Structure 1
Amino acid sequence: MKPIISFQHYGFKYKNQSEPTLKDITLDVYPGEKIWIAGPSGSGKSTLAHCINGLIPFTYGGETSGSLIVGGEEPVNLSIFELSRTVGTILQDQDSQFVGLSVGEDVAFVMENKALPREQMKVDVVTALNMVDMLDYIEHSPYELSGGQKQHVSLAGVLSTDAEVLLFDEPLANLDPASGRLAMQLIDDIHRDRGKTIIIIEHRVEDVLQQPVDRIVLMNEGSIAVVGTPDEILSSGVLRQYGLRPPLYADALEYAGIALDAIKGLSIPQKLDVAGLKDTLNAWSERSGVKPEGARREPLLSAQQLTFGYNLEHPVVRDASLNIGAGEIVALLGNNGAGKSTLSQLITGILKPQSGKLTFAGEDISSWSIRRRGEQIGYVMQNPNRMITQHMISEEVGLGLKVRGIAASEIQERVEQVLKVCGLYAFRNWPVSALSYGQKKRLSIAAILVLEPKLIILDEPTAGQDYQHYKEFMDFIHTLSEQGVGFLLITHDMYLALEYADRAIVLHDGRIIAEDTVAAVLSNQEVTSAARLKETSLSLFAKANDLTSPAQFVQAFINEEKKGKAHE
C-alpha cells in the first residue's frame, strides 16, 4: 500500500530564521491510519501540520529540503484549494475558521465553491450536521455556540469536502470533559465508518487515548524522536521526557513501586494482568492515602446565596454560596453552560446579582465599582484573544500598570519579572501576533499577574499548553498561593484540580451540588455523572482492578505528587 502522506528526509526553515524548524523528517502515513502527533511547544508539531495542509508554502514561506508527497502529489505543485480536497483541517481556534453568518451557511461554504446545485447542497448540509449532532443549530450564528458545539460545526464543514485526510489541531482545547469525550468518539466514528486518515495534534494524553490510536509520533526540537504504538510508548516511560504527562494511573503504579516496562494495556484505565498488583496497590493506598487535615485559612472572598438570571424565571446561578481563603486554590468544576463564567462575572462585578451578598476580606463589596474590584480581584478569560489589546508583548503586560500611573522604570522591571515567570521573556520584544494560542494564554495571565491582585480567577488556565509549561505555570501559581494569593480555577482539567487545588466546588445547572476535597469529588460517580465531569482515571483504574478504596488510591496519588513538589 502506498502512503497517502510521505516525508522523506524533509526539512523546512522559515524566512528570516537562521535554523530550520523541521530537520530530516522521515514519516509515512498510510490511508486509514489514525496518527497522534505530540511533543512540547516549539517541537515542530504545528509546522509539520502546516506542511501537510498547505499553509506551508502558501501562507508561510521558507526553504525546504528533502521531499513531501501528499495524496500522490507534491504540495508545491498544487493550489491550496486543490490540496484541501485531500486534507481537511479543524483548527484549535474555531472562531478564525468560520466564514458563514449561520451554522448552515458555514457548512455550505465548500459546497458553494464547488458550485453544487442548491437542492443537493441543502441535503448535504443537513446530512453533515446530522452526523455531528448539530442539526438543531442550523440557523444559529457559529459565534453563539459553546466550544464543543463550535468544534462539531467545524468538523461538519470539513466533512463536506470529502477530504481523505482530516487534520485536528488541538481538538480538545477549551472543551469540558464530556464534550471532549464526545469529540474523540466522533473522530473515531468518522475514522472507523468512513475510512478517513486521521492526524491528531494534542497535549491531553489520556483524552486522546480514550479511543484507539494506531501510532504515536513524538517530536522534539524539530525532529521525530520516537514512533510507536501506545503500548510501546507508555511502557517505555518516555512521554514526560518529551513534554507530555503520562496517564495518572501509570504514575501511580510507579509511585507504588511497580515497573511499567513490559506492562501492556496502559493506554486506558483497565484491569491489568500483573501478579500481585491488587495487594501491592491496596498496601500503598493505605500507607500513602491518609487524607490531610484542611488548614485553617483567613477568609478572603465569601459569596452568600448569589442568584442571577437574564430571565428571572430561569436563573443561571441559583443560591450559590462559597468561600475562598487567602492562599487557597479552589477548583470550580462543571460542564459547559453550568454557570461557571456567570458566577465569576458576579464576583468581578461585570454582572450584578438579583439577590445574595459578596464580601471581600470581611467588607461588603456590592457597591464597589468594577475598577475597584479589579484592584483586588484579577480575572483571566478563557479566550486570550478577547483580552489582548496591544500590538507588542511588553506593552500588553505593562498596560494595566501604565493606566495606574506607575513609573516607567518600575513598569519595565515588573513586566520583565512576570514575563520570566510565564516563560515569555525571550519574546518580550515580539509582536503579539507572532505568538501561538498557548503563548497568548500565558500573555493574558501575565498581564493580570503583574497587577498583584489578592485573588485571581483563572478561566481554563492551562488550555492549549504542553505539560512542561503547564507544570511551570501551575507550580508558580502554587508558589503565589503560599504567599497568600487566593485562586479560583475554572477548569475542565480534572488533573489540574487533582494536583493543585485544595478543594473542589462543583456547579451544575447554576447550583453548587458538591464541595469537598478533589479526590472525594472526582471519585463520586453520582456527582461526576450529574455535572458531566470526567471521573478521574485513577478512580476508574482502581475500580477496574478491584481496589478496596478508590478514593484512598486517588488521595495516595495526590499526596505523593505534593510530596514531590515539596522536594523540588
Structure 2
Amino acid sequence: MISFHNFSFQYQKLTEPTLRNINLDIRPGEKILIAGPSGSGKSTLAHCINGLIPFTYEGKLEGTMTLHGESTTGKSIFEISQSVGTILQDLDGQFIGLSVGEDVAFSFENDGVPRAQMKQEVERALTTVNMLDYIDQSPHDLSGGQKQRVSLAGILSTQADILLFDEPLANLDPASGKQAMKMIDDIHQQTNKTIIIIEHRIEDVLEQLIDRIVVMSEGEIQAIGTPDEILSSDILRKHGLREPLYIEALKYAGCELSAADELTQLHHINVPKFENALTSWYNAGTASTSSPSKQPLLDVQNVRFSYDGEHEVIRGVSFQVQTGEIVALLGNNGAGKSTLSHLIMGIVRQSSGEIRLQGEEIRNWSIRKRGEQIGYVMQNPNQMITQHMIWDEVALGLTIRGVSKETIDAKVEHILRICGLYPYRNWPISALSYGQKKRVTIAAVLAMEPKLIILDEPTAGQDYKHYTEFMEFIAELARTGLSFIFITHDMHLALEYTDSAVVISGGEVIANDKVASVLTNAEVIERANLKETSLSVLARVIGLPSAEGFVQHFINYEKQVKHHE
C-alpha cells in the first residue's frame, strides 16, 4: 500500500535532513502505530504520506515513496488525498463548515453527491461516532472530545482507503479515548482500510489490536515489530517513550519478559511466570509517609453556577488546594471542569458559594487582580498566543508589568531552558508544533510567578522525555510553595505527580481523595468516564490482596527511581 525505500527528506531552510534512510512497507489493511519523541520525524513522515510534503512543506527528497505501487512524484495533493484521509491533532485548523453537518458534508459537496443521499450519508457518519444530536451546532462550540468525533465523521465521509490519525487521543478523557480506539478498530474491521496512528499514549492505543509498531528517533526508524516484541524490549524507554504502566511494574519487579508472553493481552498474562516476583515486590513495599500539613491556599465552598439562570452546571462544589499542593481535577468531557476553572479565574461569577484565596473572599476581585495571583493555561495554545516570536511571548507579561530588561532576559532564558524551548528562542511561533506551542504558553505563565497555576491538559502533545522534564520542574516549583490544579485526562500524570484528585461529574464532586484510591474505585471510574489503571488490573489478575495498595506502591517506588535518576 505504502512503501519507502532509502527515503530522506530535508526541509528547504534546514541544514540537516529531518528524515534519513527510511525503509518501510505498509501493507493493505494493516493497522500501524508510529511512535517517537518530539522531533523524531514521525510528523514529517506523516506529511510525506498525506502529500503535505512536498506541496505545503518544500524541501529536498531522496529515495522513493510509492502509494499503491506508484511513485508519488508528479502526483497532485488532490490525487493523494483521494487515497489518504487525515485527522489533524490541531482540530480547529481542520473544520470548514459552519455547523457539524456542513463540515461532514464537505467532501460529498465536492463530489456532487445529490442532496438527499448526502443528508443520509452525513447522518450515517455522525451516528457512527455518536454525534448526530450535534448536527446543527458549530464545531468550534464543542468540547475537545466532541471535535475529535466530528473530525472522524468527516474522514469517514471520504472514500480514502488509508486513514492517518495524528494523536487522536490528545483531547479525550480516558473513557472517550478508549471508545475512540474501539471506534477506529470497528472502522478497521468493517472497512479493512489501512490505519496509521501517530500517538504518544501507547498504552491506550494498544488496548486494541495493532499489527506493528514503528519506533522513530532522530529522523530514523529505530525499530519495527509487533507490540509484544516491542514491549518485551527496552526500545520505548531507550528512545524517550512511555511504556504501559503494567509493563513498567513487571520490569520494576524484576520479571523477565519475552514476546512469547503475549504482553498486550493483560487479562491473559502468564500469571505463574510473574506471580512470585510481583508478590515479593509488592510485599517489600513501604507505606507512604504522610506529608506534613500545609496551609490552605484556595478554598472553594458550596459554589454553584448556571449560564442561563435555570440549569446549574456547577452544583455545590467544595474542595481545597493547599500551599505547594498539586491537585488533579478529573472528570468526563462536559463534566464542568473548565467552567469551574473559569469561576476560580473570575471569567464567570458564581451564583452562590464562596471562593477564598489565602483566606480572603475574591468574589469582587477583578480578572486582572486574580490574574496576578492565579495563572491559567488553556488547553488550546492557539487561543493564548499573541506575539509572533517565542521570546516575546514568554516576556510579554513581565514587559507589561514594567520589569527591567535585565531581569526579563534572565527569567525568560531560565524558563525557556526548563521548558525545553531555549534552542528555539529566536523562532517564530508559527514554526512550532502543537506540543511546542503548548510549552510556550506554559512558559509565559510561569514567568509571572503566580501563587496558583491552573493547567488545562498540561502535557498534551508532549513526548515522555519533555513531559518528564517539565513535570519534574513543576514538582520542584510545588516544593517551593507554588500550587497547581491540573485539569487532565492523563491518568499517568495524575498517578505520578499529583497529591490528590478531585473528581467532577455532572457539575458535582463525586470523589476527593488520594489518586490511588480514586483510580481503583469502580463506581467513581464509571460515573466520571475515567479508566481503571492497568496497574489495578494487573493486581487483580495476579491475585494481590489490594489493588489500591499495589497502585500506591508503584507510585512510591517510581518516585524513588526518579529521585535516584
Fold match by TM threshold 0.5: yes
Matched, 1:47 2:50: no
Match of 1:72 in 2: 69
Q: Residues 135, 280 of structure 1: CA spacing in aligned structure 2 closer, same or farther, 3 A cutoff?
A: same
Match of 1:19 in 2: 16
Match of 2:237 in 1: 240
Letter in 1 for 2:269: L
Kindly state the Cα deviation for residue 449 of structure 1 after the two structures are TM-superposed: 0.2
Q: 1:67-110 CA deviation, whole Å, 9 max, x = no partner? A: 00012322232111111110000110111111111111111111
Match of 1:208 in 2: 205
Match of 2:154 in 1: 157
Q: 1:425-481 CA deviation, whole Å, 9 max, x = no partner? A: 011111010000000000000000000111111110001111001101100000001
Inter-partner Cα distance in structure 1 for 2:131 and 2:512: 33
Inter-partner Cα distance in structure 2 for 1:33 and 1:252: 30
Matched, 1:521 2:540: no
Letter in 2 for 1:34: K
Match of 1:98 in 2: 95
Identify the match of residue 506 of structure 1 among 503, 506, 515: 503
Inter-partner Cα distance in structure 2 for 1:247 and 1:385: 30
Structure 1 residues 174-193: aligned runs within 5 Å: 174-193=171-190
Letter in 2 for 1:76: T
Kindly state the Cα deviation for residue 262 of structure 1 after the two structures are TM-superposed: 5.0
Identify the match of residue 6 of structure 2 among 9, 20, 27: 9
Q: Secondary structure at the match of 2:3?
A: strand
Q: Secondary structure at the match of 1:77?
A: coil
State the TM-score, normalized to the length of structure 2. Answer: 0.98
Letter in 2 for 1:235: S
Matched, 1:438 2:407: no
Inter-partner Cα distance in structure 1 for 2:558 and 2:19: 35
Q: Residues 286, 559 of structure 1: CA spacing in aligned structure 2 closer, same or farther, 3 A cutoff?
A: same
Identify the match of residue 259 of structure 1 among 251, 256, 261: 256
Q: Residues 520, 83 of structure 1: CA spacing in aligned structure 2 closer, same or farther, 3 A cutoff?
A: same
Matched, 1:552 2:549: yes
Structure 1 residues 278-357: aligned runs within 5 Å: 278-288=275-285, 290-357=287-354
Match of 2:26 in 1: 29
Q: Secondary structure at the match of 1:532?
A: coil
Q: Secondary structure at the match of 1:320?
A: strand
Letter in 1 for 2:383: R
Q: Residues 294, 268 of structure 1: CA spacing in aligned structure 2 closer, same or farther, 3 A cutoff?
A: farther
Inter-partner Cα distance in structure 1 for 2:290 and 2:222: 44
Inter-partner Cα distance in structure 1 for 2:128 and 2:2: 27
8 A Cα contact 1:392 1:429, kept in partner: yes
Q: Residues 276, 98 of structure 1: CA spacing in aligned structure 2 closer, same or farther, 3 A cutoff?
A: closer
Identify the match of residue 393 of structure 2 among 393, 396, 407: 396
Q: Secondary structure at the match of 2:70?
A: coil
Letter in 1 for 2:389: M
Kindly state the Cα deviation for residue 276 of structure 1 after the two structures are TM-superposed: 5.4
Identify the match of residue 449 of structure 1 among 422, 438, 446: 446
8 A Cα contact 1:379 1:457, kept in partner: yes
Q: 1:177-224 CA deviation, whole Å, 9 max, x = no partner? A: 111111101100011110100000000011100100000000111111
Kindly state the Cα deviation for residue 274 of structure 1 after the two structures are TM-superposed: 4.4
Match of 1:59 in 2: 56
Letter in 1 for 2:360: E
Matched, 1:409 2:406: yes
Matched, 1:380 2:377: yes
Q: Secondary structure at the match of 1:465?
A: coil
Inter-partner Cα distance in structure 1 for 2:191 and 2:165: 16
Identify the match of residue 489 of structure 2 among 489, 492, 516: 492
Inter-partner Cα distance in structure 2 for 1:81 and 1:536: 43
Kindly state the Cα deviation for residue 123 of structure 1 after the two structures are TM-superposed: 2.0
Q: Residues 473, 270 of structure 1: CA spacing in aligned structure 2 closer, same or farther, 3 A cutoff?
A: same
Kindly state the Cα deviation for residue 249 of structure 1 after the two structures are TM-superposed: 1.0
Task: Tell me the C-alpha RMSD between the 2 structures.
Answer: 1.3
Q: 1:305-327 CA deviation, whole Å, 9 max, x = no partner? A: 11111133321111111111111
Inter-partner Cα distance in structure 2 for 1:362 and 1:268: 51
Q: Secondary structure at the match of 2:471?
A: helix
Q: Residues 499, 413 of structure 1: CA spacing in aligned structure 2 closer, same or farther, 3 A cutoff?
A: same
The range that moved more, 140-149 or 46-55, is 140-149
8 A Cα contact 1:271 1:545, kept in partner: no
Structure 1 residues 474-489: aligned runs within 5 Å: 474-489=471-486
The range that moved more, 467-476 or 355-364, is 355-364
Letter in 1 for 2:141: E
The range that moved more, 254-263 or 87-96, is 254-263
Matched, 1:462 2:456: no
Letter in 1 for 2:216: M
Match of 2:217 in 1: 220
8 A Cα contact 1:327 1:483, kept in partner: yes
Inter-partner Cα distance in structure 2 for 1:161 and 1:479: 48
Q: Which runs of 4+ in 1 moved over 3 A?
A: none
Q: 1:275-299 CA deviation, whole Å, 9 max, x = no partner? A: 3533432332232152432421111
State the TM-score, normalized to the length of structure 1. Answer: 0.97
Unaligned runs of 5+ in 1: none
Inter-partner Cα distance in structure 1 for 2:230 and 2:420: 28
Inter-partner Cα distance in structure 2 for 1:263 and 1:283: 23
Unaligned runs of 5+ in 2: none
Match of 2:529 in 1: 532
Inter-partner Cα distance in structure 2 for 1:147 and 1:540: 28
Letter in 1 for 2:545: T
Q: Percent identity at matched positions?
A: 61
Inter-partner Cα distance in structure 1 for 2:533 and 2:204: 11
Q: Secondary structure at the match of 1:128?
A: helix
Identify the match of residue 110 of structure 2 among 108, 113, 121: 113
Letter in 2 for 1:343: L
8 A Cα contact 1:299 1:323, kept in partner: yes
Inter-partner Cα distance in structure 2 for 1:484 and 1:138: 47
Inter-partner Cα distance in structure 1 for 2:265 and 2:285: 24
The range that moved more, 74-83 or 345-354, is 74-83
Q: Secondary structure at the match of 1:217?
A: strand
The range that moved more, 269-278 or 463-472, is 269-278
Kindly state the Cα deviation for residue 371 of structure 1 after the two structures are TM-superposed: 1.0
8 A Cα contact 2:34 2:216, kept in partner: yes
Match of 1:124 in 2: 121
8 A Cα contact 2:271 2:542, kept in partner: no
Inter-partner Cα distance in structure 2 for 1:475 and 1:392: 26
Inter-partner Cα distance in structure 2 for 1:155 and 1:289: 46
